[in-house]
Chains A and B, each alone.
Chain A
């Protein structure tokens, strides 16, 4: 149990630092950045205390916000996906009970991709809606959601694959 908590704390710190010092400055094609820190929410243990999970997601978002001067947009988006994650897991993995004890990387590949893509999509949609905060920019919001989302999803998938091989 301690092992899992320590692992998550280290993952939290590393993801925030990587996000603010490297990934926020990629600006691919002008303004497309991946938001890899979502990986923390993706990989958070499936069996968890929901209140703690939502609070931790809020702190994750607010840390990124603090570094990038964006008010509370990352916090809002992170809290939102942390709240709806049970619905997403139910949708992408079917009934949950059997998956509580299974490791994330042992889950069927297609199911894993669906799960990552849905989480990233909702996170980015909420993120850019909060950032632009106006309906007149709806096209820009959708464009950013799709392009940045694709970038993030690929990066998350690669990271999970690379780090799963190492730990075996």
Chain B
């Protein structure tokens, strides 16, 4: 007994080191698994508040650019409104089906990262704005990521520039689909894997989301094909996609909530049991 106590006393620094190092290793591994939420994250009172202050200061620097982006989107939406009005003169739109399916919440990014292997964003909307985890986040140009941790006022978003994320996407022309990953090399490019060999690919083709999960709606733009090659087994293509979004300068985003998500997931869970 004496010896055991002595052993602990002699090696207390080493033991403390192993304990704390193990703890940080645990946090790290936890943050690498996409499904579970993190214990230490930036969507809390302290860091959310600090980032809110710094963002309040720094957002003045790119007001002009952001205004241009908003103007661009407004004009696009206006065009859409005009077009749909002219169509509705002739055909019938079931508004109960179309308008209530997806709910859109605007938000502002108050912290952004793109230089790490697993990047996350912080947005200024949280549970108070009826957000939850696993919602789609898009900007005016294309997909941004998926929400993960939330508190009452803030939420973290897993960026598509993250090795743990995987989003189903398809060719706009032919509906062949694969999943989007990131190889950490360049924030302007993501990779589309598991695209069947049979798919007719061309440089410059557009990639959109496939709508095969309950998170992202169909046909949200992702990017254009920059190059492609067969994988080692020569069964699937690995496609390099240039993103429409400039992930290094994001500000205004929209969070899309699928109102029928619960129903869909219940059905999927039933199938898996």
A: residues with CB less than 8 A from B are 17, 20-21, 24, 27, 30-33, 50-51, 54-55, 58, 61-62, 65-73, 75-76, 79-80, 82-83, 130-133, 137, 140
Contact = CB atoms under 8 A, between A and B. Distances in A.
Contacts of A82: 17
A1 B47 CA distance: 31
B72 interface: no
A70 B115 contact: no
Nearest to B156: A69
B24 A61 contact: yes
Contacts of A75: 20, 23-24, 27
B185 to A, nearest CB: 8
Main SS class of interface, B:
helix
Contacts of A76: 21, 24-25, 28
B151 interface: no
A110 to B, nearest CB: 29
Contacts of A73: 24, 28
Contact of B28 (A21, A51, A83, A133): A133
A contact patch SS = helix
Nearest to B32: A133
Contacts of B54: 21
Contacts, number: 116
Interface stretch (B35-43, B201-209, B236-244): B35-43
A72 B115 CA distance: 17
B41 to A, nearest CB: 6
A15 B116 CA distance: 20
Contacts of A70: 28, 31, 116, 118
B267 interface: no
A66 B46 CA distance: 9
Interface of B: 12-14, 16-17, 20-21, 23-32, 38, 40-42, 44, 46-47, 50-51, 54, 113-118, 120, 122, 156, 184, 186-187, 248
B26 A72 contact: yes
A12 to B, nearest CB: 14
Contact of B24 (A67, A72, A137): A72
A109 to B, nearest CB: 30
In the complex, the 8 A-B pairs of residues with the closest C-beta atoms, listed nearest first: A71-B31, A72-B27, A72-B24, A31-B115, A76-B24, A75-B24, A71-B28, A83-B17
B17 A54 contact: yes
Nearest to A31: B115
Q: Which of A17, A50, A71, A73 has the most chain B CB atoms inside 10 A of its CB?
A: A71
A72 B28 contact: yes
A80 B14 CA distance: 10
Contacts of A72: 23-28, 31, 40
Contacts of B118: 70, 131
Contact of A51 (B16, B32, B50, B184): B16
